[in-house]
Amino acid sequence: MDTVRIIGENLPNMPWQEKPEGAVGPVWRHSDNPVIHRNPVKGVARIFNSAVVPFEGEYVGIFRAESTNGRSHLHMGRSKDGLKWTIEEKQIPFVNEQGKPFQPNYAYDPRLVKVEDVYYIIWCTDFYGAAIGVARTTDFESFVRLENPFLPFNRNGVLFPRKINGNFVMLSRPSDSGHTPFGDVFLSESPDFVYWGKHRHVMSKGGQGWWQSVKIGGGPAPIETSEGWLMFYHGVTGTCNGLVYSMGAVILDKDEPSKVKYRSSTYVLTPEEWYEERGFVPNVVFPCATLTDAETGRIAIYYGAADTYVGVAYTTAQEIIDYVKATHEEVGDDAEIGIM
């Protein structure tokens, strides 16, 4: 009997496969991964680290598309089933709040989160170095960029899918402008999506889990459950051959989400398949979006693989939350609300 509930909408047509016999760990891969291959559309060499949402009975995605000149931009895509995607050749045409073209110099690792009736796109943009950019759309036709929420340098902006205690809430990972050899997850609030404050520390890298010993960063928008906010994130370790990106899972307090309730000391997915181990940057799994069905507790996770492909993996709210509780470890002051 499932005791854990997802608090959200039903999505009976979302991608889904049952856990195969003999699967290792609480998250299993889609059998036809990767769902987006190299050179998916003219001028685009690779698509990875991307976000999807249900929209008008189908799915839309905001994709990190690395063009054949090596620069990342955001492209829209559409899909009937969440697995076969048609990607637009052109970059998303962003405008500023006055309606004038306002294209980012580069854009990567988008998240796409619906809060009330607005879809927010959050990505890593160029603002005198790596920083968080945001835009809004309601129809996926016009995209209006808003003020950048934080100073550089920062990445992995992850918005919660509803206001908490009356405010928008966003996670972020302060960083440097390069390949950042450090980093914890922080949280900030805003009453209006312009002014952000009440900054709190959420979770630290490290602990017993060496897979997350260098840095961590938020992943898909947290999923509201009866146990608190379930969030997948990436954890990074260093090797003599470079960084390795795995996926972890954490449960944050429902009303005070800067407080970690449970956090898995082991990864829930790590590079093991050819499309995760081999590509532009080997050994990367980087989750950026989920689809969920409240009725069944099913979760589909979209993740970038080796900075080259998009993969899908599955779990259920019950399975992953049981796993996180069973493997929980308290790291540093994660359980505090983060005021110093």
Q: Minimal distance in Å, beta carbon 218 to ligand BMA? A: 12
- Give the one residue of 33, 49, 137, 290 binding ligand BMA; rule: CB under 6 A: 49
Token pair 């312009």: residue: 194
Q: Minimal distance in Å, beta carbon 176 to ligand BMA? A: 10
By CB under 6 A, which span of 76-84, 133-141, 164-172, 279-287 interacts with ligand BMA? 279-287
- The answer to whether 281 contacts ligand BMA (rule: CB under 6 A) is yes
Residues 284 and 5: their CA atoms lie apart, in Å, by 30
Q: Which is nearer to ligand BMA, 216 or 252 (by Cβ)?
A: 216
- The answer to whether 71 contacts ligand BMA (rule: CB under 6 A) is no
- The answer to whether 144 contacts ligand BMA (rule: CB under 6 A) is no
- The answer to whether 35 contacts ligand BMA (rule: CB under 6 A) is no
43: left (phi over 0), alpha (psi -120 to 50) or beta: left
By CB under 6 A, which span of 164-172, 184-192, 223-231, 281-289 interacts with ligand BMA? 281-289
Q: Which is nearer to ligand BMA, 143 or 286 (by Cβ)?
A: 286
Q: Minimal distance in Å, beta carbon 260 to ligand BMA? A: 23
Q: Minimal distance in Å, beta carbon 327 to ligand BMA? A: 24
Q: Which is nearer to ligand BMA, 66 or 189 (by Cβ)?
A: 66
Residues 215 and 206: their CA atoms lie apart, in Å, by 8
Q: Minimal distance in Å, beta carbon 62 to ligand BMA? A: 14
* Pair 144, 94: CB distance under 8 Å: yes
Q: Which is nearer to ligand BMA, 109 or 227 (by Cβ)?
A: 109
- The answer to whether 108 contacts ligand BMA (rule: CB under 6 A) is yes
Q: Which is nearer to ligand BMA, 214 or 324 (by Cβ)?
A: 214
Residues 185 and 126: their CA atoms lie apart, in Å, by 20
- The answer to whether 307 contacts ligand BMA (rule: CB under 6 A) is yes
- Give the one residue of 232, 233, 286, 323 binding ligand BMA; rule: CB under 6 A: 286
Site string for ligand BMA, 175-214 (x = CB under 6 A): ----x-----------------------------------
Residue 232's DSSP bridge partners are 249
What's the 3-state SS for the chain? CCCCCECCCCCCCCCCCCCCCCCCCCCEECCCCCCECCCCECCEEEEEEEEEEEECCEEEEEEEEEECCCCEEEEEEEECCCCCCEECCCCCCEECCCCCECCCCCEEEEEEEEECCEEEEEEEEECCCEEEEEEEECCCCCEEECCCCCCCCEEEEEECCCCECCEEEEEEEECCCCCCCCCCEEEEEECCCCCCEEEEEEECCCCCCHHHCCEEEECCCCEEECCEEEEEEEEEEEECCEEEEEEEEEEECCCCCCCEEEEECCCCECCCCHHHHCCCCCCEEEEEEEEEECCCCEEEEEEEECCCEEEEEEEEHHHHHHHHHHCECCCCCCCCCCCC
**How many residues make contact with ligand BMA (CB under 6 A)?**
10
Kindly identify the residues of this chain, within the stretch 220-259, that bind ligand BMA according to CB under 6 A.
245
Q: Minimal distance in Å, beta carbon 256 to ligand BMA? A: 29
Q: Minimal distance in Å, beta carbon 129 to ligand BMA? A: 13
- Give the one residue of 62, 65, 109, 111 binding ligand BMA; rule: CB under 6 A: 109
Residues that bind ligand BMA (CB under 6 A): 49, 108-109, 179, 245, 281, 284, 286, 304, 307
